[in-house]
Every structure is written in structure tokens, then in C-alpha cells.
Amino acid sequence: MSASERPDASPWWASAVFYQVYPRSFADGNDDGIGDLIGVRAKLPYLKALGIDALWLSPFYVSPLADGGYDVADPCDVDPMFGTLADFDAMLADAHELGIRVTVDIVPNHFSDQHRWFQAALAATPGSPERARFIFRDGCGPNGDQPPNNWPSIFGGPAWHRVASTGPDDPGQWYLHIFAPEQPDLDWTNPEVPAEFERILRFWLDRGVDGFRIDVTHGIAKPEGLPDMDPALIEQLAKHEHGSLMTAGKDLRFDNDGVHEYHRMFRRVLDSYPGERMAVGEAWVPDHERLARYVRPDELNLTFNFELLEAKWDDVEFHEAITRSMAALADVGAPCTWVLANHDVDRVVSRYGGGALGLARARAAALVTLSLPGAVYVYNGDELGLSNVGLPDWALQDPTWERSEHKDRGRDGERVPLPWSGTARPYGFGSDPQATWLPQPEGWGLFTAEAEDADPTSTLWLYRRALAMRAATPALLGSSFEWLDAPEGALAYRRGDIAVVMNAGPVDVPLPAGEVLLSSGPLAAGWGTPAGAGVAGGGSSLPTDTVAWIRTA
Ligand code: TEU
Ligand code: CA
């Protein structure tokens, strides 16, 4: 291990592979067609065999599910649909027993409209302390019947909702909801709000969680006076395809300087516990210098780098995404956090062209992210090579569908319950094919964990081998990184004695001399043997849409 490698003292999360569980869709433990915590617990051996270091669980808290659980009605309890606090504790204990860390989602930008605080705010009058926890304003216009400003909601329509009058002097105020109307934004300048979130963090830290993923962490501070947004930007946003919050212009709703004070509070709380507890921020911040501010030494530990998720399958785009992500965070000394997919964006296979082509590229891209310096997040089902599912209108549940007036089908296509076993629906996700909360497609029999476990060339085995090799290879866990020259259409870099070559071009490219440790697809006859390693290396060439890891001399 060279001097530039990560010192042994560096914290676990700096190079961890996190696996995102979307609880509703991961595994069903009580056969009602909805994933739950008993299901997660039952699949821990599968996750151990996969080789991940930690889990990130999307929300499983009490919620009316207006936004898949990101509308939290009680952040310190489990929704009965997902189980009980005892189920959570049992899952956490088993995970720790297996050496898997557990992180959970914190949603600080908003509560559910069913949260007791918001119910109290509705019952109280304008100017009351109950309303001051949220962002209530009088409307514009003669009767206050216009929204207080022109902000749009992320899910379509205005970001303001009017409530009923509480008396003769009150025409009815409006409250801010950057997301759905069922998700009223909290006012973090009210000290009661950070105090409540400190309590929530401590509740889960006391139970033993290893850290948090913090939702919309770039949105919790609003600009003074809530000024109007640039109408041209609003128009541009209205056209955006779902999945991207990155805009060229300044979006006044996000990345206001006030957020950093709240991140420092999160960090203080985390650091007051033993055992390297951590937080990763979800911050869709296009400006790299500004993104770096989220991971200054006294702020969040990690922040997602969404550049690769936004990049097309293209060597130049990958090169830029990687370079810019690394340059920004290097200045503050924070590791990068690579992410190709999550529950908000189309699955990788579909984004890269779908079918066999999309799958080949998705497998290749996985070998890129898993060989870059820093932490990596894997979205559940990506290790099986799943694609987005084209769902019928009647099945859609994402609020985006209704709020965009049926222009944007939303994010359900990447949230379909996972296929575990068997050849017919529901593929081991419970037993009733009609009961799964979103309908599964025909043809997933080839993509079940069971089928892929039996096929050494499967995507599941590719992930298992890559994760095992990463864990056993100090050069991949360290921070050393160097670009190598590569032919047109290709990308190459070195991590210690490991060279990584990505071919996104139309023709084969030569591989450097050495032993091929792993490749995302066939290089030559003999590929995909149970031993897992590819073929004896030097001099072979790398086909299009393939990535290889090579141990150089
Ligand atoms: O997402 C933040 C976010 O704004 C986007 O990912 C957005 O949901 C997407 O681009 C719209 O199509 C987080 C959660 O990950 C997401 O699931 C929630 O809906 C959102 O916050 C609100 O809590
Ligand atoms: Ca269930």
C-alpha cells in the first residue's frame, strides 16, 4: 500500500458500499404484497453474500404515503405497514451481527400534513406559534387569493396551498410545499424545528443506527423574504424530465447559505456518539464549489455526487463527471460518493438504452463506480440488472403523475417490487401475484435473485465478485487515482496496480498488459467460469460497452 493510499485510520464510510433499500419494494415478510422490515431482516444473508458494507433504508416511518413515505407523520415510529419498532431493532441487531451497518433516512424539509404539528397549525390562527413551525403567509391580491410568490412545486403546480379561514379577519392563509401539498415545508429559522430534529436524530442514534441519509438537505433554508423566481427558470423546470433537479440558473428554493448552520448541528449530534456515525446529504447542487461546502470538516460527512447519474453512457461525459466530482471535493478533503441510480430516477439499464444493450452498459458502469475512490451507493435491484417497468396508468401512485396533469409518469417504474425466486409473478415477493403494490412484469423470471445465483455470468455474480475484490484490494479502497491515456471512445485510469478501462466506443480497444481480474462482459472464450476471473489477460482487447479491471505488472 503506497503512501497515497487511505490510512487505516480513515473512517468506514469513506470507502463503503451502501445498498439502498426502498422498503416498500425490497422484500415482503408478511405476504401482503408490500415490502417491510421483516422482509429486510430475512434478506440480510443475501446482502451479506452480496458483500455490501451498509444499508440505507428509505423511510419506513408512520406515513399516509402521499409521497412513498417521504411524507412523514411520525418520524420516531414505524408505520404498521412496515412493521414495528421491535422489528426494526431485530433487523438492526442481525445486521450488526453480520457486520452490516444500518443508516436511515431523515426528512427535514417537510412533515406530512398528518403530523400532529401540522394538524395543530391548521387549527390555530395566523401568527400563532403553531403556524410558525411551517411557512404560512398571507396571499397576494385584494382578497389574498393569489399565492404569496411564484414558486412551483417539484411535482408540478404551484408550491402554495390555501387553507380555510379561521375567523372574520382571516381570509385564509397559504402554506409552502416545495413537494406535494401533503408535505408542508418546515421553517428552520424557528428554533423549535432544529430542536425537534435533534430529538429525532438522537432517537435513532440511541437505537444504534450508524448514520443517516438526509433528504433534500440543500432545501431546508429558504431565502429571506421568499422572493419570486426567474420566470424563465420556472419554464425550464416545467419541461424537465423527472429525475433531475440540476438546473443551470439559480433556483431560489435550494442551496441557500442558511443550510450550513443546520448541517453543523447534525454533525455535532453525530460526533457526540461513539463509533463513527455519519450523514450523507442529498444535495442536487450543480455548482461544484458550492457542493463542496456541504462536506466541510464540521458539516456532513458525505454528499451524493450526482454527476455520474446525470451522465450519458459516454466516455467524455464520464471523464468530465469524474474529474469535476473529484476536483470539487478534494479541496475540502471529503471523499466522493458515487451514485448511478436511486428511487427517483429511471433505472440504469433503461437510461442506457434498455434491453441487452442497456444491461451491458449498466454492468460496465457498475465496474466504473465500484473502482473509483470514495463511497458508492447501489440501488436495490441494480445488482440484478433490472430495468424500469412500463406501468399502466391505473397502477401509478407517484404524486408526480396527477400533479403534472398526466405529463410526467413519475418514479413508480423504478420502484416495482423485486423478483426473488420462481418463474412467475410475484417471483417470491409474497405469494399473491395480484397483491404486489405495483404490478410486476412478465419475464422477470430470468432476473430473480434465485436464477442469477445459479448463473455465474449473471449481474448478481458480477456485483458479488466486484464487491469481494474491492474489499480485498487496498488500492481500490484508497484514494490514489490517476488518469491513463486511452483510445477514442475509451476511458482508463489507474488505482495503484489496478488499471480500469471502459470502452464506450464503437470498436474494440486494446487492454494494457496484465491479468484481467474482472470484466463486465465477455472478452474471449472462457469468460464467466465459476472461478469468476476472466481470461488470462495481456494483449486481449476490450469489446464495446465493456469495462475491465486489470492487475498490471
Ligand atoms: O428527492 C429530492 C428531489 O427533489 C428529487 O429527487 C425529486 O423527487 C425528483 O426529481 C422528482 O421527480 C427526495 C426524495 O429522494 C424523493 O423521493 C422525495 O419525493 C423528495 O425528496 C421529497 O421528500
Ligand atoms: Ca408486507
For the Cβ of 283 lying below 6 angstroms from any atom of ligand 1, the answer is no
For the Cβ of 242 lying below 6 angstroms from any atom of ligand 1, the answer is yes
Where are the domains positioned within the chain?
A: 3-110+191-464, 111-185, 479-551
In this prediction, residue 524 carries a pLDDT of: 64
Rounded to the nearest angstrom, the distance between the alpha carbon of 56 and the centre of ligand 2 is 19
For the Cβ of 215 lying below 6 angstroms from any atom of ligand 1, the answer is yes
Three-state SS at 23: helix
For the Cβ of 400 lying below 6 angstroms from any atom of ligand 1, the answer is yes
Grade residue 530 by pLDDT with cuts at 50, 70 and 90: very low
Torsional sign, CA 519, 456, 355, 372: negative
Average pLDDT value for the chain: 94
Cβ atoms of 86 and 102 within 8 Å: the answer is no
Instruction: State the amino acid at position 551 in one-letter form.
Output: R
Which ligand 1 atom is nearest residue 244's CA?
10
Q: Closest by alpha carbon to 10, among 436, 373, 387, 385?
A: 373
**428 has pLDDT over 80:** yes
77 φ, ψ (degrees, to nearest 5): -150, 160
For the Cβ of 186 lying below 6 angstroms from any atom of ligand 1, the answer is no
Task: Report the distance separating Cα 119 and Cα 138, nearest Å.
Answer: 19
Three-state SS at 543: coil
If one counts every other C-beta atom within 10 angstroms of the C-beta of residue 9, the result is: 5
Q: Closest by alpha carbon to 127, among 116, 139, 140, 138?
A: 138
Q: Which of the listed residues 57, 61, 151, 154 should we mutate to test ligand 1's pocket, taking the one with most ligand atoms within 8 A of CB?
A: 154
**537 has pLDDT over 50:** no
Which ligand 1 atom is nearest residue 411's CA?
12
Rounded to the nearest angstrom, the distance between the alpha carbon of 207 and the centre of ligand 2 is 23
91 φ, ψ (degrees, to nearest 5): -65, -45
Instruction: State the amino acid at position 345 in one-letter form.
Output: V
Q: Which of the listed residues 21, 185, 215 should we mutate to test ligand 1's pocket, taking the one with most ligand atoms within 8 A of CB?
A: 215
Q: Tell me the CATH number of domain 111-185, given options 3.40.50.1100, 1.10.3720.10, 3.90.400.10, 3.20.20.70.
A: 3.90.400.10
Give 272: exposed, middle or buried? Use CB within 10 Å, 0-12, 13-18, 19+.
Answer: exposed
Angle between helix 259-271 and helix 192-207 axes, rounded to 10 deg: 30
Bridge partners, residue 19, by sequence: 55, 378
Rounded to the nearest angstrom, the distance between the alpha carbon of 212 and the centre of ligand 1 is 16
Angle between helix 355-369 and helix 459-472 axes, rounded to 10 deg: 10
Beta-strand ranges (E) seen in 33-176 are 54-57, 61-62, 74-78, 101-106, 136-137, 160-162, 174-176
CATH T-level fold of 479-551: Immunoglobulin-like (2.60.40)
Which ligand 1 atom is nearest residue 342's CA?
15
For the Cβ of 178 lying below 6 angstroms from any atom of ligand 1, the answer is no
| Number of helical (H) and strand (E) elements in the chain, helices listed first | 17, 20
pLDDT digits (tens, 9 = 90+) for 343-396: 999 999 999 999 999 999 999 999 999 999 999 999 999 999 999 999 999 999
Q: Distance between terminal CA atoms of the chain?
A: 15
Task: Report the distance separating Cα 533 and Cα 163, nearest Å.
Answer: 63
**Topology agreement, domain 3-110+191-464 and domain 111-185:** no
Which ligand 1 atom is nearest residue 398's CA?
19
Give 354: exposed, middle or buried? Use CB within 10 Å, 0-12, 13-18, 19+.
Answer: middle
Which ligand 1 atom is nearest residue 71's CA?
23
pLDDT digits (tens, 9 = 90+) for 102-149: 999 999 999 999 999 999 999 999 999 999 999 999 999 989 999 999
In this prediction, residue 250 carries a pLDDT of: 83
Residue minimizing CA distance to atom 2 of ligand 1: 216
Rounded to the nearest angstrom, the distance between the alpha carbon of 308 and the centre of ligand 2 is 33
**533 has pLDDT over 60:** no
Q: What is the CATH number of domain 3-110+191-464?
A: 3.20.20.80
The number of the ligand nearest the C-alpha atom of 339 reads 1
User: Around 504, how many Cα atoms within 13 Å sit in the side-chain half-sphere?
Assistant: 22
In this prediction, residue 529 carries a pLDDT of: 43
Residue minimizing CA distance to atom 17 of ligand 1: 344
Residue minimizing CA distance to atom 20 of ligand 1: 70
In this prediction, residue 5 carries a pLDDT of: 44
Give 250: exposed, middle or buried? Use CB within 10 Å, 0-12, 13-18, 19+.
Answer: middle
Catalytic residues, by residue number, are: 215, 282
Q: Provide the 8-state DSSP code for 523.
A: S
Q: Which of the listed residues 56, 216, 218 should we mutate to test ligand 1's pocket, taking the one with most ligand atoms within 8 A of CB?
A: 216
pLDDT digits (tens, 9 = 90+) for 29-53: 999 999 999 999 999 999 999 999 9
For the Cβ of 107 lying below 6 angstroms from any atom of ligand 1, the answer is yes
Query: How large a percentage of the chain has pLDDT more than 70?
Result: 94
Beta-strand ranges (E) seen in 259-418 are 278-281, 302-303, 337-339, 375-379
